Structure formats: structure tokens, C-alpha cells
Structure 1
């Protein structure tokens, strides 16, 4: 019995250690985008403690410099133009080791249009498919939203619903799920495939929704852990923002990445509570903005971003635009783009 208790204690300690490690704050920048035509501009600051040293160990472009207090900048006479390369890889060193980042020339679209699960509805594409993502990029959306869960073997899976192709995502292996056929020859993509696709351009961003697991708090946090670590491993921070209905997942994302943009989807917290937990903004069903016409203004006065979902009717799109909502998530991005074009 003593031996069994000892083994149980070891396993418990090991699990706790893994959980603690997965929740460790990652080295991040508060900005990854480089403005054009600005010589010597400061790009962003690394989240290092005061007094800690950071150094630049690799910069093949020879364009960047890091200050003692952790700011990365273009060198004094350096500037990016339309003819410059648009992706730059740099490696920095701290007391914890080396980490590579990608900095991106800022050509990103800012038109408020977020394609809900990609641009699928008018393109014979499946939701959350690679085709729907490519179409969102092609038509010029600011962002393309998609949803992630964990499979039974702890792989990140793209699906809006807890079931897809007749299989329960959280109770099925990734290998089985990736065999599911989607429209137009697509297969269920991995997060890595989605990130690889988005990184082929610098116009449209990913809006990654961490789904609220049906298996409870720890599973919600585990989905967040896995997604954030994949984003960082693939150096895709410049392209990726986060949303979630799970406040536990939202807090875990913030714990891991103190500079990520995170918008909370559930309207069960006060704006003050969201501000206290360092959330970046609110992402509410548009009915909340219709009910409280000052909601967007209140949120903005506190420095919170605003997004409305899922806005498919022209009159509701107009109302959200009149309220100066920062982002509008829609199944009809083509219609919203037409409205915006008409306002030019």
C-alpha cells in the first residue's frame, strides 16, 4: 500500500509539474508589425523583467537593433518600402535561452470585416476549411475566424461543432478526424496547415476561437495551451488574435502570452472585470449592441476593443458601422465589403 501511495504521489507531482510548465509565461513582443517608410522606428518591446538582459543573436537582414530595456527597432537609417521583403526572422537570447520571432511589414487590411469560419457561404466551401480561409484572403477580409478543439489524443482540431462528420471531436483521434472529407476535395485541416496558409501573405489575419470544452475547465485550458504554443512554435504571432467563450481559456491565453489580443465572447462579465483580467476587448452577439447603444462607446472609453457577431443582415451591418464597432464578424463578408466600398 505504501508503495502504491508513493507511486501515486510521484505521478501527481509529475502532472502538476507539467501543468505548471504549460502555464509558464512565454517570451513575447507587444508588436510584430513594421510600419513602412519610417526610418529607425521602434517596433515593439519584449516582455522581459526590469534589469534582465536580452540580446540579438541572429538577424540575417542586418536591419534591427535591440536596446538594453528590450525594445527592438530598425537601425537608424533603415526603413521598409513597398519593394522591401515583408517577413523578417530574428533570434534573441535571454537567461532562459534563445527564441526566434518573425516580424512582418504592415500591409494588413483594416476594414473591420471578419469572415465567420472563413468565406464559405458563397464559395461552395466547408466552414473552417482551407478553401474558406483562402477565399477570405482572396476577397480582402481583415480577418478569418475559425474554431479549435482537442482530439482524444490531444491534437488541435478545427471544427465549429463538437461533432463533425458523425464523430465527436473530443472522443476521436486526430488521425481519424483528418480523414473526414469536406467540400470540393478538402479534408479537415490541422492548425499547422491553417497557419502555414495564412503566413503566405500579410493582408489577412487569423481569429482563433478556443472552444469551451464539454469536458470542463482543465480541458478548456489545455486547448488554449496547445493552440498558443503552436502559434509561437510556428512564429505566427503577427497573424493571430484569440477569442473564446471560456473565461478560463481566456485567462490561460493571457497567462501564456501577456501581449496577445484576446476578446471575450460571453457577456457574463462586466467591462471592469474584463479590464482587470487584461482582456483586450469584447466580442458579443450584435443584439447586445442593439440593446445597449452605448455599449461600444463605454468599452472604447476603457480601452477595450469591440466586435459584433454574427451580423448577416444589411440593416444590422449599417447599425454596427454607425456605432463604430471595431470588427464585424459575418457569414456574408461579400455584402459587408460592398457596403464599405459604397461608403468610400
Structure 2
């Protein structure tokens, strides 16, 4: 049987967000059932310092509630409906905690994105590290953020954990920059990735994980170019594409 030249991870964006409400346990469960290698999700701190899983700083889009995540305690957030906006079948889905996700899906590859670019969240890095250690999933986790100083801090606190630098532009000397910050991976928008970046990253042992790729042809091009992971809203389609990309 022929095999692909290069293993490309299939990472469901905010869980299987094309099939279920993003960043919910339903979306994570479906991603696993589809056959994704893992999933990407977003972490913020609640008012009482609990790492919770939600993308937007404001609550309104996915829960209908007023205010910001950081203004509400974890108990208050747990009472919100994070699923009904997507469809009645998902009514009653809650905002998960990071602990719930690590406890349930620690066997998958987990891309934990810290959403600490808009609001300062002192202690977020330490709390995430502590939970990862508690559940012994260090080898299955990569932590990323658009807040590169946060990734530098996290690397200083836990140099054994993998970190990724998110960006949506053409980053000059990206591989050198990643190595300087101690990052294990670059997480560019897929449309900015060129062959020279992939060559330089591979030579330096830096992963290139691209986001958010939902088009079949773009998935194929990224896989054939040799990226390490593709983050997508449609892990079912990506699963089929990756199985068709052969030697």
C-alpha cells in the first residue's frame, strides 16, 4: 500500500465547527468521530481565574449574553447556552473548561490557543501549564497565540512544551524569529505560505501549521507542499483529501 510522503495532521478548527457549535464538547466529540487527529480551541480566563473555552472576548455572538468573558465567573459562564445559536439540536451546550477538555480528549492532539491579545489575563500561561501537567498530556499539546510575548513567557516557564506563533501576514525571517522566541511552530494564514518558508522551517526543525483551510483544492495544495498540520472547519473533507494525497 502506498503511503503519503509526509504525515499532515488534521486539526478541527474550534472543534468540528462546520458541524456543531464552535468550542463546545459536541464539536470536539464530532471531530474525534470524523477521524481528525485533534482540534484547535481557544482559552480565556473567567473572572475567578478559571481557563474556559470560548473564542470571542464578548459573549453575545455564541451565547446571547452581555459583556465579556473576563467579567463573569466560571459558574456564571457555565449557565450560558453556547449551542442554541447554531441550531436547536445543540440547545444546552455549555462553555467548557480547559480541565474538561484535557480530561476527556487528552489522547488527541490539542492546539490550545490563548486569547490574551485583547484583554490582559495575568496568570493564564501558568494556569494552562498547571492543567497540562496535572493531566500528563504534555506530548499531545501545542500552545499558540497571536500574542507572541505570551508564547515567549510560556516557553520560559515550561521549555518542554511546544508553542506556536500565530500570524496573518508575511513575517520576515519567520524561522529565525520563531527560534529566538523558543517556538516549536509557526502558525501562518495559509495564503501567506511560500515554498522557501517550508524549506527553511523543515531544516530548522520548526513546524508549519496553517489555518483556516476549508477549500478542497487549497487543502490538497497545502498537504502536497509539506505543511505539518492543516486547521479546518471541515475535518471530514480534509480527512478525505489527506487520504487521497499519495506518493
TM-score with structure 1 setting the length: 0.62
Unaligned runs of 5+ in 1: 1-109
Distance in structure 1 (CA, Å) of the matches to 2:150 and 2:42:
13
Distance in structure 1 (CA, Å) of the matches to 2:177 and 2:141:
24
How much has 1:214 moved relative to structure 2?
Answer: 2.0
Higher CA-based Rg: 1
Distance in structure 2 (CA, Å) of the matches to 1:205 and 1:305:
14
Equivalent position to 2:221, from 302, 307, 319: 319
Note if contact 1:120-1:135 (Cα within 8 Å) is conserved in structure 2: no
Sort the Cα spacing of 1:161 and 1:269 in 2 relative to 1 into closer, same or farther, 3 A.
farther
Note if contact 1:111-1:142 (Cα within 8 Å) is conserved in structure 2: no
Distance in structure 1 (CA, Å) of the matches to 2:196 and 2:225:
8
How much has 1:293 moved relative to structure 2?
Answer: 3.1
> Match for residue 3 of structure 2?
none
Between 1 and 2, higher relative CO (CA 8 Å, sep ≥ 6) is seen in: 2
> Match for residue 105 of structure 2?
198
Between Structure 1 and Structure 2, the one with more strand by share is 1
How much has 1:111 moved relative to structure 2?
Answer: 4.3
How much has 1:234 moved relative to structure 2?
Answer: 2.5
> Match for residue 115 of structure 1?
12
SS in 2 for 1:322: helix
C-alpha RMSD of matched pairs (Å): 1.7
Distance in structure 2 (CA, Å) of the matches to 1:162 and 1:342:
38
Residue by residue, what CA displacement relative to the aligned partner does 1:64-100 show, whole Å, maximum 9, x if unpaired? xxxxxxxxxxxxxxxxxxxxxxxxxxxxxxxxxxxxx
Residue by residue, what CA displacement relative to the aligned partner does 1:25-54 show, whole Å, maximum 9, x if unpaired? xxxxxxxxxxxxxxxxxxxxxxxxxxxxxx
Distance in structure 1 (CA, Å) of the matches to 2:52 and 2:172:
28
Note if contact 2:117-2:146 (Cα within 8 Å) is conserved in structure 1: no
Residue by residue, what CA displacement relative to the aligned partner does 1:140-199 show, whole Å, maximum 9, x if unpaired? 111211000111221111111111222311122111111111322321111111111113
> Match for residue 157 of structure 2?
256
> Match for residue 189 of structure 1?
96
1:224 equivalent in alignment to 2:125: yes
1:209 equivalent in alignment to 2:143: no
